[in-house]
Amino acid sequence: MSRGDDQQSQALAKPTFSDVQASALVESVFGLKVSKIQPLPSYDDQNFHVCISSTKDTTDGPTEYVLKISNTESSKTPELIEVQNHVTMFLRAAGFPTASVRHTTGGNLTCLVSVDGGSGVPGYLVRLLSYLPGRPVAEIPSSPQLLYEIGRLAGKLDETLQKFHHPQLSSLRRENFIWNLKNVPLLEKYLDALGQNRNREIVVQVIQLFKDEILTKLSHFRECINHGDLNDHNILVESSKSAFGDAIYQVSGILDFGDMSYGYYVFEAAITIMYMMIESKSPVHVGGHVLAGFESVIPLTPVERSALFLLVCGRFCQSLVIAAYSCQLHPENKDYLMTTAKTGWKHLQQMFDMGQKAVEEIWFETARSYDSGVSM
């Protein structure tokens, strides 16, 4: 069962380990002594920032980790988690700033931890990733340079993943996965979470346009493996000073491969554009810089470019509708779940009001302004 098949089951199955229980897991499963632990925000898994005490056995390894406890639905697909782990290690070996994966004391990359209490839950998959340095892009004022670099990163990721091979690679063909961009029409069953208002009207229109204009073009898009969630909290950056004293930001971490699936190059570009718009003071102008960076690696075809506007609108709808639905199930996690909604509805309405032609004109003109000699 995927997140798309039963969103409610997934939302209700988020792990609820205490700090003490999580600390005990790190010590028993990975053989590390915890000196400090604190929870990290998450959507439907549970994450902890873990600091370990240095011992003679751990002097060569990291001293900070992220303990990831997968929800019960994801824990039923260990082959998918295994592929995510191997992708992370593959990309790290290829020079990307992704986490390393700590082996358990038994030499495995994951461990299924059973829970007591007669809840009927068979267990949770647990893994330990190195903690990556930097600040989330969400906390940094966006600049053309940073947006271009993030677009280029998205293109390089997809290009590099074409060389990735694994026996369980087919597990990334997640047909009913609600977060795969081709599954925007699956949002219809969650529309009641929006009530009756203009937001809902726009989503209904996007879904219909998506059916008419995107689903009919899928065979013309070039397929690849997508990270699928390059949002402004999953990309970390560190700053350095330029010769002129300005801050220049370099990507220092790529997080969360949990939404990875087979998709298309244009999906990754659209998803990245949408998330980079969230915190921007001039959101409509973001797309051209991200697109220029992406196309410096993978130039889009005319048919892929023509789909970009609706794909960005579709991703806004996915994020906003699923957040509204999840908030009904988990009101205690509202602040985190509604991060996109703070500006997302306004941005989606602005795009819709301007129309595809006007938005494309801004994006494509900006992308054209980068000559072929631009580099990171």
φ, ψ of residue 189 in degrees (nearest 5): -75, -10
List Cα–Cα distances, 95 to 126, 156, 290, in angstroms.
26, 11, 21
pLDDT of residue 6: 42
pLDDT of residue 98: 97
Question: Where along the chain do its domains lie?
Answer: 14-130, 135-372
The answer, yes or no, to whether residue 345 has pLDDT greater than 80, is yes
Least confident of 102-106, 202-206, 254-258, 334-338: 334-338
Answer for the pair 291, 202: CB distance below 8 angstroms, yes or no. Answer: no
Confidence bin at 9 (pLDDT 50/70/90):
very low
**Total residues belonging to the chain:** 376
What DSSP line would sit under 154-208, residue for residue?
HHHHHHHHTT---TTGGGG--TT-TTSGGGGGGGGGGGGGG-SSHHHHHHHHHHH
Confidence bin at 338 (pLDDT 50/70/90):
low
- DSSP label at 282? S
* Average pLDDT score over the chain: 89
Q: Which helix (H) or strand (E) holds 50?
A: strand 46-52
The SS3 call for residue 252 is: strand
Per residue in 302-322, pLDDT (tens digit) is: 999 999 999 999 999 999 999
CATH number for the domain whose boundaries are 14-130:
3.30.200.20
Give the C-alpha separation, 310 to 313, whole Å.
5
Give the C-alpha separation, 332 to 110, whole Å.
29
For residue 294, the Cα-to-chain-centroid distance in whole angstroms is: 17
Q: Is the dihedral of CA 300, 306, 310, 313 positive or negative?
A: positive
Task: Please state the rounded mean pLDDT for residues 315-334.
Answer: 84
Instruction: Kindly give the pairing relationship between strand 64-69 and strand 46-52.
Output: antiparallel
* Residue 371 among the catalytic residues: no
Per residue in 44-83, pLDDT (tens digit) is: 889 999 999 876 555 566 789 999 999 888 888 999 999 9
Give the C-alpha separation, 285 to 361, whole Å.
10
Helix axes of 341-354 and 302-329: crossing angle, nearest 10 degrees: 140
Task: Please state the rounded mean pLDDT for residues 84-98.
Answer: 97
Give the C-alpha separation, 376 to 374, whole Å.
7
Give the C-alpha separation, 261 to 190, whole Å.
22
φ, ψ of residue 218 in degrees (nearest 5): -55, -35
Question: Which among 300, 308, 225 is positioned nearest to 271, based on CA atoms?
Answer: 308
Q: Do 135-372 and 14-130 fall under one CATH topology? A: no
Q: What is the pTM of this model?
A: 0.89
Answer for the pair 33, 39: CB distance below 8 angstroms, yes or no. Answer: no
Which residues are registered as beta bridge partners of 50?
A: 37, 65
For the chain, the farthest-separated pair of C-alpha atoms sits apart, in whole angstroms, at 63
Give the C-alpha separation, 229 to 233, whole Å.
9
Class of domain 135-372: alpha beta
Answer for the pair 249, 140: CB distance below 8 angstroms, yes or no. Answer: yes
Catalytic site residue from 229, 232, 256, 259: 229
Confidence bin at 373 (pLDDT 50/70/90):
very low
- DSSP label at 134? S
Per residue in 227-279, pLDDT (tens digit) is: 999 999 999 999 887 767 777 888 999 999 999 999 999 999 999 999 999 98
Answer for the pair 176, 2: CB distance below 8 angstroms, yes or no. Answer: yes
Answer for the pair 336, 43: CB distance below 8 angstroms, yes or no. Answer: yes
Residues 6 or more apart whose Cβ sits within 8 Å of residue 122 = 72, 75, 76, 112, 114
Report the chain's C-alpha Rg in angstroms: 21
Cβ neighbours of 229 (radius 10 Å):
19
- DSSP label at 91? H
Q: Which residues of 72-96 are buried (b: 16+ CB within 10 A; e: fewer)?
A: bbbbebbebbbbbbbbbebbbeeeb
